[in-house]
Chain A
């Protein structure tokens, strides 16, 4: 996972007629993690989508190196399909990979249609999809929402392992996310 980076300079984000934040600059290199904090509606998710290249920046530039994986509130798993098949679709797209299903506690749920899974189970399934993608840059939007205490610890461990292996994690969350050497950025500092 060498050679991944995120470089954001003088970024501004507009949503509708409002400028959510401006003048935001940051730089993340291989192995680093950053948590973006802030109250609801301040633009955490928008920042992640801009970094992912899914939304246009109002001003400023974003440069990323490495494959980007995104986990947000939309799990991208077919609700009508059993979990195993829904994850299998992404495995075929990403190339066969180990999704760490047992570790995420999903092994017993593979026959259950996705729409019957709980919020936390869907979140864990989305993490399995992310792990299978083998992306170097992880963008996690509220990764702890709906997770029980064990799953929270597991998620923190997974992100720590990802960064130890040289990956980048950019986490948007208003909840505390325990991770050694993690930088923090309060989006409110850049809000208008």
Chain B
């Protein structure tokens, strides 16, 4: 089985990180940076206000950026018959989904954490705030990745699935957002720990929920 994870991960990364027609990891990062750039235009150049609210803006931008690639995560492989061929070879849907969560996270988590550096400069965040934002993103983005792949598997094959998956992810991402962004204010370390805990729960559920959803979609 381990000999099959390598090719699966390599293929997923080639599709999600490097992109092809979908733009890969570049599109979420550009989207994230443009939100961070728009915000000062919208609220005005009030440095203390920007510094106080900027961390939260980065979190919201990260959440929205994570939604962008959802429609490419699972549905194309069902339409291509990839899941059928994997099933015939004894490669479980759970394994494929677990690998895909990892690839999805690698294609937006670390790039967003890097992009948070220029975004923090645009918003005038101080070093301590930036440190907490980065640790929070490290704790929260794996959960966002797991949630995204699960919802993408659930909505695969539905009409309007792309829009629906975005709508479904946002409310379910609220705990990560509350604890992750909340760590910037009161709570601090415990907020980070809770964001990490929510992430771990989502990571544990994702392969099974996503795998069951793919099998159900096969019908």
Contact = CB atoms under 8 A, between A and B. Distances in A.
A70 B88 contact: yes
Interface residues of A, number: 25
Interface string A59-102: 00000000111101011111111000000011011100000000
A68 B91 CA distance: 13
B171 interface: no
Interface stretch (A21-29, A49-57, A158-166, A169-177): A49-57
Contacts of A94: 89
Given A75-B81, A77-B80, A89-B11, A55 B6 contact: no
A92 B6 contact: yes
A142 B123 CA distance: 60
Contacts of A52: 84, 88
A93 B91 contact: yes
Contacts of A54: 84, 87-88, 218
The secondary structure that dominates the A interface is loop
A80 B21 contact: yes
Interface string A129-150: 1000101000000000000000
A75 B87 CA distance: 15
B6 to A, nearest CB: 7
A53 B87 CA distance: 9
Interface in B60-89: 79-82, 84-89
B7 A76 contact: no
Contacts of A72: 81, 84
A70 B14 CA distance: 25
A133 B79 CA distance: 21
A78 B15 contact: yes
Contacts of B79: 74
Contact of B7 (A69, A80, A93, A135): A93
B14 to A, nearest CB: 8
A92 B218 contact: no
Nearest to A77: B80
Contacts of A78: 11, 15, 80
Contacts of B82: 76
Contacts of A67: 88-89
A58 B89 CA distance: 24
Nearest to B86: A93
Interface string A22-53: 00000000000000000000000000000011
A55 to B, nearest CB: 7
A81 B91 CA distance: 22
A152 B173 CA distance: 53
Contacts of B127: none
B37 to A, nearest CB: 30
B159 interface: no
A175 to B, nearest CB: 21
A68 B85 CA distance: 10
B84 A76 contact: yes
A92 B15 contact: no
Contacts of B85: 70, 76, 90, 129
Given A55-B219, A92-B6, A92-B7, A74 B84 contact: yes
Given A72-B84, A81-B14, A129-B85, 13 more contacts: A53-B87, A54-B87, A70-B88, A74-B79, A74-B84, A75-B80, A75-B81, A76-B85, A77-B80, A78-B80, A80-B15, A93-B8, A133-B89
Interface of A: 52-55, 67-70, 72, 74-81, 89-90, 92-94, 129, 133, 135
